[in-house]
Amino acid sequence: MAMNYKEEDGHNHSGVGPGPAVKSKKPDNTAFKQQRLPAWQPILTAGTVLPAFFVIGIIFIPIGIGIFVTSNNIREYEIDYTGVDPSSPCYKCSNVSVNISCFCFINFTLDNAFESNVFMYYGLSNFYQNHRRYVKSRDDSQLNGDKNSLTNPSKECDPYRMNQNKPIAPCGAIANSMFNDTLKLYQIRNGTEQPIHLNKKVIAWWTDKNVKFRNPTGNTTNLTILFDGTVKPINWKKEVYQLDPSDPDNNGFINEDFIVWMRTAALPTFRKLYGMIEKNDSSPAALVPGNYSLHVQYNYPVLSFDGRKRMILSTISWMGGKNPFLGIAYITVGSICFFLGVVLLIIHHKYGNRNNSADIPN
């Protein structure tokens, strides 16, 4: 006589009896589904933990010291020219037509030579380029030279998309707020100011210059014709094809000052590369010790948002610009690990043998 049986889940597995057989919901009896696969779990002992702490400390501390010393050897000089007094002799304004151009002249002295190439930066504080709507306010297709986007920009650019019923090129809040102070550096020799050449065509990333940013193309290379039918951003004083009058190849969307500005900063206090002072073979240093003068065409307003403006001269090393944080971080982590290793070693030496002896039966 065949017997009907049911398993614990209440399903009929014998196939005997009325109705179709019900499939079990239990997982298959395999090593994977029954979680019987071999596993490895580390057992933390004094013999494995203590050497790890000491090795991390011995490796990290010298690395941190090397990075910290390298960062401190980088020459850097900074001038904050935000609050220049308009009534002072070094501040002059000239009214040309309806435009007012203000220049401030700041004399300073370099006590140490800047031996290698010197990078000039402009710095802004309390300027939040990382705001979500600000970051999105651009049209990458337009910046890549797309003709349709040139005449019909993306709606992400609103409210800086159209002006006077014409499309804005380049559109968006990022382009509209582009930094436009002019910085010029002079060396003072025998009471005479001699201009220092600033290379402005080595400041943008190669991928930005050659891939992401391109001027519109057509039957002509005349940018005035190619940008016909568009208007400049509302806050700009120059057209996009007039950003660099001294170099026709550095205009339009491929202007390197513009490209550098369009790469938004992550923090509210930041610096962006403005130009490079190259060391000549005939000179012992890019900037020798002596007296210098910074001429600033003061155009960019920052007082409305309690911002600050700075000019920074800096050399670089194999690790980049001056940044002591990385070295301090390595030294701190290495010191903590080494200290914990010593503490744990003392604890293990004092109490480890007692625990081992307690495990031995009498």
Q: pLDDT for 141-194, tens place per residue?
A: 999 999 999 999 999 999 999 998 999 999 999 999 999 999 999 999 988 999
Quickly list DSSP for 70-139.
HHHTS-EEEEE-TT--TTSTTEEEEEETTEEEEEEEEEEEESS-B-S-EEEEEEEES--TT-HHHHH---
Q: What spatial distance separates the first Cα and last Cα of the chain, rounded to whole Å?
A: 63
d(CA 295, CA 188): 12
Between these two residues, 216 and 95, which has the higher pLDDT value? Answer: 216
Tell me: pLDDT of 96 over 50: no
d(CA 181, CA 360): 80
* Residue 27: exposure state from Cβ atoms within 10 A (0-12, 13-18, ≥19): exposed
Split at pLDDT 50, 70, 90, the class of 212 is very high
d(CA 196, CA 290): 13
Tell me: pLDDT of 85 over 60: no
3-state SS assignment for residue 187: strand
Helix (H) or strand (E) holding 141: helix 140-143
Quickly list DSSP for 219-260.
S---HHHHTTT-B--TT-SS-GGGS-TT-GGG-GGG-HHHHH
* Residue 139: exposure state from Cβ atoms within 10 A (0-12, 13-18, ≥19): buried
Q: pLDDT for 115-144, tens place per residue?
A: 889 999 999 999 999 999 999 999 999 999
Tell me: pLDDT of 98 over 50: no
d(CA 240, CA 210): 18
Tell me: pLDDT of 230 over 90: yes
Split at pLDDT 50, 70, 90, the class of 319 is confident
Query: Residue 27: is the preceding peptide bond cis (ω within 30°)?
Result: no
Helix (H) or strand (E) holding 341: helix 325-359
Tell how far CA 293 is from the center of its chain: 29
Split at pLDDT 50, 70, 90, the class of 318 is confident
Cβ count near 222 (within 10 Å): 12
pLDDT at residue 349, as a whole number: 85
pLDDT at residue 6, as a whole number: 46
Helix axes 325-359, 46-72, angle to 10 degrees: 170
309, two tokens:
């403006």
Entry pTM = 0.75
Tell me: pLDDT of 23 over 50: yes
Residue with token string 């800086």? 160
d(CA 71, CA 324): 6
Closest by CA position to 273, among listed 256, 286, 285, 290: 256
Instruction: Please give the DSSP secondary-structure letter assigned to residue 155.
Output: G
Between these two residues, 71 and 88, which has the higher pLDDT value? Answer: 71
Q: What percentage of the chain reaches a pLDDT higher than 70? A: 86
Contact 275, 257 (CB under 8 A): no
Tell me: pLDDT of 268 over 50: yes
pLDDT at residue 7, as a whole number: 46
d(CA 279, CA 115): 8
